[in-house]
Amino acid sequence: MTGPLHGLRVVELAAIGPVPHAAMILAGLGADVVHVARKQGGGLDLSGGKPDFLFRNRRTIITDLRDPDDHAVILDLVQTADVLLEGMRPGTAERLGLGPDDCAAVNPRLIYGRMTGWGQTGELAPLAGHDLNYISMTGVLDAIGRPGEKPTVPLNMIGDFGGGSMFLIAGVLAALFERERSGLGQVVDAAMVDGASALAQALWALRGYGAWKPRRGSNLIDGGTPYYDTYECADGGYVAVGSIEPPFYAALLRGLELDPQTIPDRSDEAMWPALRDLFTETFRRRTRDEWAVVFAGTDACVTPVLTLDEVAGDSYLRARGTVIDVGGVPQAAPAPRFSRTPTDVPSPPSPHDQRAAVLRDWVRTSAGRPSDSAPRP
């Protein structure tokens, strides 16, 4: 692999959700990631035997972590690794003899990334949970939905990935930067409850100066305003409207052929229901794609709501390479992009045990990696 993380070695202990997602992103940026799968399986598997592209771009070894021989293999990898990622309940890795102290004993420069929902400490730490539970405890879930309705169940982007894997990656990269000065590794405690809360800082800031109402669906960016919402079109498709700033709002009205002098005043919150009804009626006069043509090339901030089936064929996304083909399956391209160290096209996942190749590359070449198992002076 090429990319800015070329040469970085990552051990990924089997987990679901944010850990393989974090490993996928690191691998996409050039890291050499080894996925340590379980012989006995376990966890949630919705693939039905088909390739799981969350595990693209890395090699796999299949182990039983309770087997002394396999345990020794993992520690051999740890000895020359830069990063280890795990997503077990607190204390589980320690019971398996693969906790932070066990790994630091063979490699004090190792960055040990721990991904959980509740964190490594506190009364909730040993309990199970999912994305919905973590964002419910941070106030984020309560803020998503329409007025007077129950909170909307969002996709698991906020807890698992936004507040989970992305903060795990940020922590690992920060620890790697610090290691350049200290020569020592450390433990990164990435908890989805912490990450989701940090993602919500903008809401805390708005609340702090009185610009956020506690009633869901009544604020600027939660669908409360008629000019930041979605609208159904004549064909049953939808458009997304984000015409917040006055120039963008003016462009919206021009596209809708509405006279700003005769429509309800958007600055008067009491007029929002009438304005929303007007927009609803107007957008229903044309199809989604007809509105896309009307607003193409404008700053109205009106875009079609594409389905996943449509994304790969969109001319803009195709030209930019945002969605690419990997093994005959549409996939998200690695992100972000780099000018001097571009990333490779991802490789399909391989379910086969590649232990021999991994040990050949990692263990037998360890002498070529200076100071892997000792602090720098």
Residues 80 and 34: their CA atoms lie apart, in Å, by 12
Per the structure block, which two tokens stand in for 270? 């009491």
Residues 246 and 227: their CA atoms lie apart, in Å, by 11
Active site residue 160: yes
Residue type, 182: S
Residues 362 and 374: their CA atoms lie apart, in Å, by 17
Residues 113 and 119: their CA atoms lie apart, in Å, by 12
The answer to whether 303 and 292 have CB atoms below 8 angstroms apart is yes
The three-state secondary structure class of 76 is: helix
Active site residue 130: yes
Catalytic residue among 52, 71, 130, 353: 130
Catalytic residue among 32, 82, 131, 160: 160
Q: Which helix (H) or strand (E) holds 95?
A: helix 92-95
Q: What is the DSSP letter of 309?
A: H
What lies within 8 Å, CB to CB, of 316 at 6+ separation is: none
Which of 192, 145, 339, 314 is closest to 305 using CA atoms?
A: 314
Which pairing describes strands 59-63 and 83-86: parallel, antiparallel, or unpaired? unpaired
The answer to whether 33 and 57 have CB atoms below 8 angstroms apart is yes
Buried/exposed 217-239: b ≥16 CB within 10 Å, e otherwise:
bbbeebbbbbbbbebebeeebbb
Backbone angles phi, psi at 48, to 5 degrees: 60, 30
Residues 286 and 299: their CA atoms lie apart, in Å, by 20
Q: Kindly list the distances between the CA atom of residue 265 and the CA atoms of 261, 278, 283, in Å, as whole numbers in the listed order.
A: 8, 12, 19
The catalytic residue positions are 130, 160
